[in-house]
Amino acid sequence: MTEENINPVLRNGTCAPRRPTRSINIGGIAMGADAPVRVQSMTCTRTGDVEATLGQIRELVTAGAEFVRVTVNDSAAVEALPRLVAESNTPLVADVHYDHKMALAAIAAGIAKLRINPGNIGSSDKVREVAAAAADAGVPIRIGVNRGSLHSRYQELAMTDPAGALVQSALDEIETLAGVGFNDVAVSLKSSHPGEVIEACRRFAKVSDVPQHLGVTEAGTLLAGTAISIAAMSVLLSEGIGDTVRISLAADPVEEVRAAYHMLSALGLRQRYARVVACPTCGRVEVDVMALAAKVEELALQLPADRVISVMGCIVNGPGEAKGADLGIAAGKTKVAIYRQGKLHRTVDKKDLESVLMEEVERLK
């Protein structure tokens, strides 16, 4: 599975040019400036459980995560970090709250990026101490401002202007770090309310070139959380705002990565997976499109990104979609037509469809 040029059927040109931002380097992976919009996720294992965490990191990388965040919240996590860093197949980001000593330990362990929430990391002195260590190690810092944990000094503003409070908090923290000569930063302005995220990110983009990590925090379960996240992020990305995305779901984090790539490909920004076109089915449907499309989609994860497969339930739209795909089916009353590269390839009995279709998908590798 490799990333390739945007497939012509997905290239829609609806996004504004990317906003110019400064570039940061996360363990050899560039983010910001001309780099592609990066896709990331976070493990949900206990970080101290090295085997489980490494296993999930590998699953995320297979799905396309370009860096992976792990929480560093206790001594077991700190002790696990050196081995996680050594054995991970992608750069790791340490997520630290409340305890700046954990941040210092994570930097010493060799993490590639640090996420701190200055609202809860402690005094400015502690933030400066972390910045000095990060500068020595060449580790960028994401200032993760979150509506739910804004510092008390922004709470009054947040009552009337929540987006403004997020932006002001981020700018103040950036200034604190800049004051000690640390500019290797990214920022996230998160809320569980998509409208606040859109407003805050837009306003921040007008006044700063710091690269933005986009996300709706605590977005929800697989379906609702994906919809809410994409509602906010696609608005921003279409305006050229956003340098990395994380879709935060109460679900398997692999789904976060998949959803992020589907969003980026729909916007014409990146394409990681082959496209599976499937009809929604209706009373005319002649085969089990839902089950077939789900199986095809799993297999298609292994295909080159520029492939298109269509799974259509009847002859109304089936032949038309199939002709525009590398591989497509159009189901009739007794037989199913299989198209390859826009031409009718063969017809099969319904009972043979699943096995034949899977073989045909394999041939697209």
Strands 275-278, 308-312: parallel, antiparallel or unpaired by DSSP?
Answer: parallel
The nearest distance, CB 50 to ligand SF4, in angstroms, is 47
**Binds ligand SF4 by CB under 6 A, chosen from 317, 345, 358, 364:** 317
Segment lying near ligand SF4 (by CB under 6 A), choices 138-146, 207-215, 260-268, 281-289: 281-289
**Which 3 state secondary structure label does DSSP give 197?**
helix
d(CA 243, CA 246): 10
Is the Cβ–Cβ distance between 17 and 10 less than 8 Å? no
Least Å from the CB of residue 156 to ligand SF4: 53
Work out the burial of residue 362: count CB atoms within 10 Å of its CB; fewer than 13 is exposed, 13-18 middle, 19 or more buried.
exposed
Site for ligand SF4 in 60-99 (CB under 6 A): none
Task: Report the nearest approach of ligand SF4 to the CB of residue 314 (Å).
Answer: 3
Within residues 155-214, the interface with ligand SF4 by CB under 6 A covers none
| Count of residues interacting with ligand SF4 (CB under 6 A) | 12
Q: Which stretch binds ligand SF4 (CB under 6 A): 70-78, 223-231, 279-287, 354-362?
A: 279-287
263 neighbors 244 (Cβ within 8 angstroms) = no
Q: Which of 280, 343, 351, 359 binds ligand SF4 (CB under 6 A)?
A: 280
Instruction: List CB contacts of 211: < 8 A, sequence separation 6 or more.
Output: 21, 22, 23, 24, 31, 32, 33, 186, 187, 243, 244
Q: Write the DSSP string, 125-174.
A: HHHHHHHHHHHHHT--EEEEEEGGG--GGGHHHHHH-HHHHHHHHHHHHH
**Residue 225 or residue 313: which is nearer to ligand SF4 going by CB?**
313
Q: Indicate whether 288 belongs to the interface with ligand SF4 (CB under 6 A).
A: no
DSSP letter at 7 equals P
Pick 183 or 317: Cβ nearer ligand SF4: 317
Least separation in angstroms between CB 348 and ligand SF4: 18
DSSP one-letter code for 350: G
Q: Which stretch binds ligand SF4 (CB under 6 A): 23-31, 93-101, 212-220, 312-320?
A: 312-320
Q: Which of 132, 285, 356, 358 binds ligand SF4 (CB under 6 A)?
A: 285
Q: Using the rule CB under 6 A, which residue among 269, 300, 314, 353 binds ligand SF4?
A: 314
- Sign of the CA dihedral with 33 first, then 39, 40, and 41 last: positive
Looking at 313, 325, 336, 357, which residue binds ligand SF4 (CB under 6 A)?
Answer: 313
45 near ligand SF4, rule: CB under 6 A: no
Question: Residue numbers of the site for ligand SF4 (CB under 6 A)?
Answer: 279-282, 284-285, 312-314, 316-318
